[in-house]
Each structure stands twice: as C-alpha cells, then as structure tokens.
Amino acid sequence: MKLRTWRKIHRYLGVVIGIQLFFWTLSGVVFSWNSIQAVRGEDLIREHDPINLKSFEIIDCGMVLKNLPSEQRVERVLLRTMLDRPVYEVSLAGSEQPAVAIFDAVSGKQLSPIDAETAQEIAKHDFAFDVAVNQVERVTETGSHSEYRGKELPAYRVEMNHPSGTSIYVSESRGAVTTRRNNQWRVFDFFWMLHTMDYQGRDNFNQWLLKTVSVFGLVTVVSGFGLWAKTSPIFRRRRKNK
C-alpha cells in the first residue's frame, strides 16, 4: 500500500475515532483513580455490633408459614435482622402478592410492605453518620438512565443530608437496603456510559456502535504502525541496502 494511502487512512480514521479514543482513555483514568468501595458507598456503611439472637424468644418459622394463603408456595425462609431485631424473610411464589415478605421472628407479625417511616429508619441505621434525611420517595418504576436501574421494585429512595449526596434505596417488600448511590457513583456512571457507548441503557457491551468503533479504533492503531514503518529511517535504510 502506498505511503499516501496509509496517511489518508490514518488521518481520516484519527479524526472520526479520535474523540472516542479520548473518552476511552479519560474514562479509564477515572475508573483507575476511584475506589470501587467508595463508588458503591460501602465506606459510608455504619458498623454495628453483632446481634445475639439467643437473647430473643424466636418462634418457629412454621407458625409464620401456616398463616400464609394456600396459593402461595414458600421457596425459602431466611432468619436475619432488621433494625437490630430478628425477622423471617420468606420468599414466595405462585401468587400476585410480593415475591418476598418479612415477619417479626418474635411476635410473628407481618412487617411488609414497609412504610416510608420504616424505610427512613433503616437508611439511617445503615448510614455511617448521624445526619438528617432530606426526603423519602417511593420508587415504583425507573428509566434506562436511572441510578436505580435494574434493581428490585417498589423501593424507597432515602436522600441523606450529607456532602457525599448519598441516597439509600430500601426494598419495600424486604425491608433491606438494596443499593447506595452518591455523587462519586454518579460521576463514575457518566463515564461508564461514555466507555460502553451505550447511550440508551449504559450497561450493554454487545451493542453494534461499540463493536464498530472498536474495530475502526484497531484499524487506526494498525495504520499508525504501518505509517511509522514506512517513514522510519531504520526501515528506509534496510530497503536501500536490499
């Protein structure tokens, strides 16, 4: 291939692909300089002392299950804590009711779906700092660009009054924190969109725009090496010696 052709290929591809190559490099720098724990808000989780379940008079889970409607099939029963009290988390199937229900493991009382006040207590119990809550919002649906996309619904979004801009999401049916979002995560997510080139849902690595630009990016690099090989004094001397 002639030198002029190599130059044209490299020049035009560089103009078209160069912006995306810059975004890939810039987003890579952002990713490498951010702790994933901080991005996920895991560094702002409050540490709690272990709960001694023996200090509670926990009832047999069978007493809870016998009160469920017959059309609901129990798939799993989990004993855990909520706000420092033992609860049974029961995974259900075979009905139009929520797939998960929680019951007080001492009284047997059904606690789900939780209300906004309980969600706020759970969020404050989870957050490392004693701060006020700006607002509590019930989330029933999300868009493809939502910071809560792909998570279980319905849920409560509890916005904490903290410089980190933290919002804690609490499942309405499980009474548990599902995820945490903060300003650092939002910046990370923006550059993640630029990196994946998925401007619809942000998380799809298999869409054609990314595949196409990746191929042309590779051609740009290869054409650059070819141009260097054709113009390098070392290769010129070798060709003259032949």
Domain boundaries, the chain: 3-36+189-241, 46-181
Q: 236, exposed or middle or buried, with CB in 10 Å at 0-12, 13-18, 19+? A: exposed
State the pLDDT at residue 123: 98
- pTM of the complete model: 0.82
State the pLDDT at residue 108: 92
pLDDT reading at 99 higher than 60: yes
State the pLDDT at residue 1: 53
pLDDT reading at 224 higher than 90: no
Q: Are the CB atoms for 66 and 76 separated by under 8 Å?
A: no
Q: Are the CB atoms for 76 and 90 separated by under 8 Å?
A: yes
Which of 59-68, 88-97, 179-188, 197-206 has the largest mean confidence? 179-188
The confidence band for 242, taking pLDDT boundaries of 50, 70 and 90, is: low
Q: 74, exposed or middle or buried, with CB in 10 Å at 0-12, 13-18, 19+? A: middle
Within 13 A of 101's CA, how many CA atoms are on the CB side? 22
